[in-house]
Amino acid sequence: MKLENSFDIGIVGGGIIGLATAYKIQLKYPDLKLVLIEKESELAAHQTGHNSGVIHSGLYYKPGSAKARNCVSGRRQLVEFAKSYNVNHDVCGKVVVAVDDEELPHLDHIYENGKANGTEGIAKISGNQVRDIEPYVNSIGGIWVPCTGIIDFIGITNKLAELLTTMQPKSKIILGEEVLTVHHNSETSIIVTSKNNYLVNQIIYCGGLQSDRLAIKDGFHLRERIVGFRGDYYNLTESAKNKVKNLIYPVPNPAFPFLGVHFTRMVDGDVECGPNAVLTFKREGYGKTDFNMKDAYDALSYSGTWKLLYNHTGFAINEYRRAFSKKRFLKTLQRLIPSLKLEDIEPGRSGVRAMLLRADGAMEDDFKIIGNQRCIHVLNAPSPAATACLAIGDRIRDMASTYFNLG
């Protein structure tokens, strides 16, 4: 094998977790040669580049969980990083608003979560105070979250890549090559891609929507599977943008692992409304009718998928109806901003989030990262993983230090 294709560590996946991991390892071990391999022609092509662009505060997650710890630590690191390297962002704050009395107990629960997790500056506010911040919102009370913001996650990813190769010019970022298989030898491994082979000592997999397949290819026995959920967005038209100042979130339904349809002012000034959450039949498909036979078979042949749908039939049906009905989507938005009209919203982009689903139909609620002396696999990194990327990078770096005996 050519000497230039030999590296100390290979990282599979060019999303924000893969780049944050490579960056953190390179910072601590500047002499190591790293290779990061991404199958698409650009970085951040899937979950990173299709998420809501929100800097999450740490408000929602169970105290003591990896999500809670990494979100708060990662958020602070992320904002400092963006300031240091002039990545477009704005810590503008958000409101979480209750519309009816039934939501108030869960609003209180979220507030207590936030305090336990160290979310700075949060405060309970009245409906009138909500309207002082967001004048068009219908609310009987809420939470003001000043440390939430918006950011260019693609910009963060590309800046991490630039810094990585500046720190160590012998480290490489490879685009447009899909990892097909890996051959493990006694002390090294060969990563076989669609174009080349790479000799590495150890491998870190940050495969996002393909994380379960990569782990199974690597010989891990998984009981869980990745199931993709597409989220569709609408945009406010130019004449309606004034109805949203920053970020407006509903009180999420505690029965479901999603935050609900919300309003987000993006870094480019657009205002997005969404997302919904529908089971997708193509893991990396962003159209409503996108279909892939392998992805569909994997989802529909897995018992956990059917148990999830059975347990949440009403929710699933409602989400599908809303996905194909602008009027139904608008009705959801009008719970928060009643004055919105059909002509105020227009179809926007979509994203697909990877959820690790257990055989009993329950979704893995926390980040899940496993490893051994040869490899580390990031199996589950849903929201707020982008916000937490630098903290997750710290965790994987520390795991690599131990597992890979980096010294």
**Given the DSSP bridges, would you call strands 197-205 and 189-193 parallel, antiparallel or unpaired?**
antiparallel
- Check whether 2 has a pLDDT greater than 70: no
* Sole residue written with tokens 């690597």: 218
Residues 392 and 313 in one domain: no
pLDDT of residue 257: 62
Residue 172 pairs in a beta bridge with: 35
For the beta carbon of residue 402, count every other beta carbon within 10 angstroms: 10
- Check whether 318 has a pLDDT greater than 80: yes
pLDDT of residue 186: 86
CA gap 101, 223 in Å, rounded: 40
List pLDDT tens digits, range 89-132: 999 999 999 999 999 999 999 999 999 999 999 999 999 999 99
List pLDDT tens digits, range 259-313: 789 999 999 999 999 999 999 999 999 999 999 999 999 999 999 999 999 998 8
**φ, ψ for residue 334, nearest 5 deg:** -70, -15
C-alpha pair distances (Å), 134 with each of 200, 264, 334, 397: 53, 12, 14, 41
Cis before 275 (ω within 30): yes
Which residues touch 108 (CB under 8 Å, ≥6 apart)? none
Residues 181 and 297 in one domain: no
pLDDT of residue 379: 98
With DSSP H G I counted as helix, E B as strand and the rest as coil, what are the percentages for the chain, rounded to 5? 35, 25, 40
For residues 46-50, give the mean pLDDT.
97
Residues 247 and 325 in one domain: yes
Give the tokens for residue 318.
């409602």
253: nearest Cα among 226, 281, 237, 276? 276
CA gap 237, 332 in Å, rounded: 17
Amino acid at position 89, single letter:
H
CA gap 99, 237 in Å, rounded: 24
Does 87 reside within a domain? no
Cis before 384 (ω within 30): yes
223: nearest Cα among 380, 375, 385, 382? 380
- pLDDT band at residue 407, thresholds of 50, 70 and 90? confident
Does 58 reside within a domain? no
Q: In the chain, how many domains are there?
A: 3
Residues 248 and 327 in one domain: yes
Residues 320 and 356 in one domain: yes
Does 65 reside within a domain? no
CA gap 116, 262 in Å, rounded: 24
Residues 274 and 243 in one domain: yes
Q: What percent of the chain has pLDDT over 70?
A: 98
- Check whether 16 has a pLDDT greater than 60: yes
**φ, ψ for residue 104, nearest 5 deg:** -65, -40
Residues 25 and 100 in one domain: no
**Which of 104, 125, 146 finishes a domain?**
146
Does 320 reside within a domain? yes
Residues 201 and 231 in one domain: no
* Sole residue written with tokens 């990327």: 389
Give the tokens for residue 21.
């991991």
Does 55 reside within a domain? no
CA gap 330, 328 in Å, rounded: 5
Give the tokens for residue 399.
């795991």
List pLDDT tens digits, range 187-246: 899 999 999 999 999 999 999 999 999 999 999 999 999 999 999 999 999 999 999 999
53: nearest Cα among 95, 87, 14? 87
- pLDDT band at residue 86, thresholds of 50, 70 and 90? very high
Mean pLDDT for the chain?
A: 95
pLDDT of residue 381: 97
With contact defined as beta carbons under 8 Å apart, do 226 and 239 qualify? no
With contact defined as beta carbons under 8 Å apart, do 160 and 11 qualify? no
Residues 243 and 358 in one domain: yes
Residues 158 and 238 in one domain: no
- Provide the CATH number for the domain around residue 33: 3.50.50.60
- Check whether 320 has a pLDDT greater than 90: no
Identify the sign of the CA torsion 297, 298, 302, 306: negative
- pLDDT band at residue 1, thresholds of 50, 70 and 90? low
Residues 281 and 300 in one domain: yes
Residues 44 and 158 in one domain: yes
Residue 138's domain spans which residues?
A: 94-146
* Sole residue written with tokens 């980096």: 406
**Which of 146, 176, 206 finishes a domain?**
146
With contact defined as beta carbons under 8 Å apart, do 43 and 15 qualify? yes
268: nearest Cα among 295, 287, 241? 241
**Which of 146, 167, 183 finishes a domain?**
146
HSE-up (13 A, CA, CB side) for residue 159: 15
CA gap 101, 235 in Å, rounded: 29
CA gap 311, 304 in Å, rounded: 10
Does 79 reside within a domain? no
- pLDDT band at residue 4, thresholds of 50, 70 and 90? low
CA gap 395, 70 in Å, rounded: 9
Q: What is the DSSP string of 225-247?
A: EEEEEEEEEEEE-TTTGGG-SSE
